[in-house]
Copies of this chain bind each other. A is one copy, B any other.
């Protein structure tokens, strides 16, 4: 196990290190070589294809040099080998649904996009130990459907990114869903990854070819490398074990509505002890009125011009529509699972915790049966005008319930199109409606004080640039909340796009200044994020160089491109 050759290689590459510009285009010869690796039909540098790849919901995207669809890890290794030999940067994507954080666009133009969406096998599902082994192209919808079709008593965590989002892609960005396994990265193991030198690494006990606990224990033996493969550009993950939840004997969703915007802080204070105690274990989400509205309506461009936030330009309309559609100041969803007796006990604890709370409109519980009953009622009520808002309410409850139940749905993407002028079609594809969307997602301690401070800081910034203050708050773990602030804009409007860019920059900076650091960042955000933590990113850069001295892999993803230094 001598490392001598590697030492030499690294040493040479460092000596030869000259920041040479990369061409950013693929020659015909290069395309031929790549075609010989993966088949002609699986490589393209067609301009129409490239412009399709350059689409984004962010203010700015990048155009790649080409795209290649790999169908197995051996092809990934071959392409990495080719890239290293030709000093050509590659940008791997799983399914490219990184909505609001860069979508499928590479941080720098001129990469070869390595599309792994066709590696979409569910390699194993273990019912006894409750896990699945998946490839990068496996989407959350695909796995959920597979479990349902096979009638397996297992659930996958569901995020709001829609059924077509990759499980691996989202987990590597440390995305989170709505269930007890909402912190997805905490619930995976055994990552198989192609390193920039082409070797195939498996993390955790996966490092041991025959390890019986490879799928069921995360840390492995020796330093744990999983963390290094997230929010980074260190390797290309080609396989992952996702832990699944056994379907509980009883799943009871709870919904809390507040009639007072300022009651969110006190609510957090009352829920925190229950989350810390383990009474509540799901990743609860709290949505404010404007965030809820985007799921139910489109921006009223017929009334206001979009240069001001709706709540500033036409607060009466906002209030009326919310009243009509029964949209509360805040809506909260979460779930309780267990045996019927356990669920009853936890429900009682939750009821008591909220008893007498100022600003509480309602706490209600639904399970599948009750929800079906409500839906029947809503269908009847729809014919009676005064009861029509019930239908909208029930639709929202169904949407929340599906996510809590591990069933990703397209509807949860609806809010992305708030200011779009085009129709996204049935899959609610954010790239189809030309909607503009930037997520800013700072993490806060789980206190009412922090939640209120965040609102005080963020709302005026959004208003200053003419955008609605939409926010959802997710109870990430027992102690922290992630506030997700979308900047929704019309990407067809140059004015709105420019304002969104400036708003994003300003919002991010002021949040960083106040110590509210995002859990994840779009390419547009990463520079600021790095500058605020120079020691950390310098340490990371040294590790990156050890594995990828030529910066072949996803240059500029989180880490500054090594050649720009």
Partner-B contacts on A (CB < 8 A): 1-4, 6-7, 10-11, 14-15, 17, 128-131, 174, 180, 185-186, 195, 199-203, 205, 207-213, 215-232, 234, 243, 245-246, 248, 272-273, 276-279, 281, 337-339, 341-342, 344-346, 348-349, 443-447, 450, 476-480, 512-521, 529-543, 545-547, 558-560, 562, 565
Contacts and interface: CB of A to CB of B under 8 A. Distances in A.
B222 A565 contact: no
B223 A444 contact: no
A34 to B, nearest CB: 26
A451 B289 CA distance: 53
Contacts of A534: 1
A535 B128 contact: no
B217 A228 contact: no
13 contacts: A3-B565, A203-B536, A209-B533, A212-B514, A213-B515, A218-B477, A219-B230, A223-B229, A223-B232, A224-B227, A225-B539, A243-B478, A542-B546
Contacts of A513: 210
B1 A560 contact: yes
Nearest to A247: B277
A133 to B, nearest CB: 14
Contact of A210 (B128, B243, B338, B515): B515
Contacts of A349: 338-339, 341-342
A278 B281 contact: yes
Contact of A201 (B480, B536, B560): B536
Given A11-B11, A201-B539, A223 B228 contact: yes
A547 B539 contact: yes
Contact of A529 (B221, B223, B228, B565): B221
A276 B515 contact: no
A348 B344 CA distance: 13
Contacts of A529: 221-222
A277 B547 contact: no
Contacts of A543: 223, 228, 543, 546-547
A188 to B, nearest CB: 12
Contact of A342 (B202, B231, B346): B346
B11 A14 contact: yes
Chain B CB within 10 Å, residue with most, of A7, A219, A529: A219
A216 to B, nearest CB: 4
A439 to B, nearest CB: 14
B542 A6 contact: yes
A222 B232 contact: yes
Contacts of A200: 535
A529 B208 CA distance: 9
Contacts of A533: 207-209, 221
B339 A517 contact: no
Contacts of A217: 443, 476-477, 479-480, 519
A101 to B, nearest CB: 12
A1 B281 CA distance: 42
Contact of A337 (B248, B277, B478, B542): B277
Contacts of A243: 478-479
A232 B228 CA distance: 15
A130 to B, nearest CB: 6
Contacts of A221: 231, 517-521, 529, 533
A254 to B, nearest CB: 15
A507 to B, nearest CB: 16
Contacts of A559: 222
A17 B6 contact: no
Contact of A341 (B180, B348, B514, B536): B348
Nearest to A235: B539
Given A6-B542, A338-B278, A540-B222, A207 B535 contact: yes
Contacts of A224: 226-228, 230-231
